Structure 1
Amino acid sequence: MELPYEIEIMLTRPGMCLTEVSYDSAVAYLMGANAICHGGILHGFREWLIPKVNGRNSNMWSELVLALDFPDSESPRTNLEQLSDHKPVISFLHQILKKFWDERNQKGLRIIFLNYEKWLRKQDWYDPTSPKWFDWE
């Protein structure tokens, strides 16, 4: 199943849809589209990303994507701000979103959330006193 047409167009041809071709404009577009769809487009995206970056549990999905795109950086946001052309980062966002979308459609959200839960349980700060702890064993 493909990404919704409007999102596919924006991510592949951002100049057609965005007044400013920037990563933050692309993120704002996606967040708006997600809000219109009552959260259905990006549901599980953040939880899918966190195990991939192995951390940054308190970050928004947009910052997690930057962490994946600039894996060796202490401050991925600073790396983004130093770029004069954000098209490669928008293209990376497109690739990551497609991978998530494909996995979510093939395996389902349950697997994504179970993988996130497994990641959480490996963290030394996560224990039965943590909020939303669920004893499923």
Structure 2
Amino acid sequence: MTVYIASYRELFALVAARPRMYLPRDDFATVVAYVEGCDQGNARALLAGFREWLITRAGCGDNLVWWALVQKLAQPESADGAENLTPDNDIAAKQTLFRLLDEFLELRDEHDGLQRIYAAYQQWRTARADDGCAASGQPGCPVALWPRPRSRTESHR
């Protein structure tokens, strides 16, 4: 029996449902490595805009890699690296990653999705610079309205 996977959204949903079928371990660090490998195998185009989209959602973290932003969104109070997560934080980080990937890839599939992501990121950077928090690093910096797929906005429900 041959299984055809039509999209990375579908693949990541399968991995989320049964990670040990695809990965040697099912911890957050291994899932990150798998997703990073998928991105590398696509000339780093698969996750283009993902980090910027996460930044607009988190409201901070312009100095962080995407997986650190996912951890921040999953457990804002935790400062642990991916290799030091508690079992509960690890589960939360994996669930958050798969949920965010699905939403991001849905948005990216829209005809103007990537453009909306970069526009929101630029809005966030401009707001930070205008408020002076870019230099101060204040945690209360402004948050841009992060773009969502049209199917997930209130006007389309």
Would the TM-score normalized by the shorter structure come out above 0.5? yes
Unaligned runs of 5+ in 1: 127-137
The answer (yes or no) to whether the contact 1:21–1:86 under 8 Å persists in 2 is: no
CA gap 1:58/1:37 in 2 versus in 1, 3 angstroms: same
Which position in structure 1 is the counterpart of 2:8?
A: 3
Q: How does 1:29-40 map to 2 (within 5 A)?
A: 29-40=34-45
Quick one: which of 22, 25, 31 aligns to 2:27?
Answer: 22
**Inter-partner Cα distance in structure 1 for 2:80 and 2:122:** 25
Which position in structure 2 is the counterpart of 1:57?
A: 62
| CA shift digits 1:6-32 (9 cap, x unpaired) | 333222211111111110000000111
User: What percent of counterpart residues are identical?
Assistant: 24
Quick one: which of 71, 94, 106 aligns to 1:66?
Answer: 71
Which position in structure 2 is the counterpart of 1:94?
A: 98
Size of the aligned set, in residue pairs, is 125
CA RMSD of aligned residues (A): 2.4
Offset at residue 76 of structure 1 (A): 5.0
TM-score after normalising by structure 2: 0.70
CA gap 1:14/1:118 in 2 versus in 1, 3 angstroms: same
**Inter-partner Cα distance in structure 1 for 2:121 and 2:127:** 10
CA gap 1:25/1:74 in 2 versus in 1, 3 angstroms: closer
Q: How does 1:40-55 map to 2 (within 5 A)?
A: 40-55=45-60
Which position in structure 2 is the counterpart of 1:135?
A: none
Offset at residue 5 of structure 1 (A): 4.0
CA gap 1:9/1:53 in 2 versus in 1, 3 angstroms: same
TM-score after normalising by structure 1: 0.79
Q: Could you say what secondary structure the match of 1:37 adopts?
A: coil
The answer (yes or no) to whether the contact 2:61–2:69 under 8 Å persists in 1 is: yes
CA gap 1:13/1:21 in 2 versus in 1, 3 angstroms: same
CA gap 1:94/1:74 in 2 versus in 1, 3 angstroms: closer
**Inter-partner Cα distance in structure 2 for 1:37 and 1:70:** 29
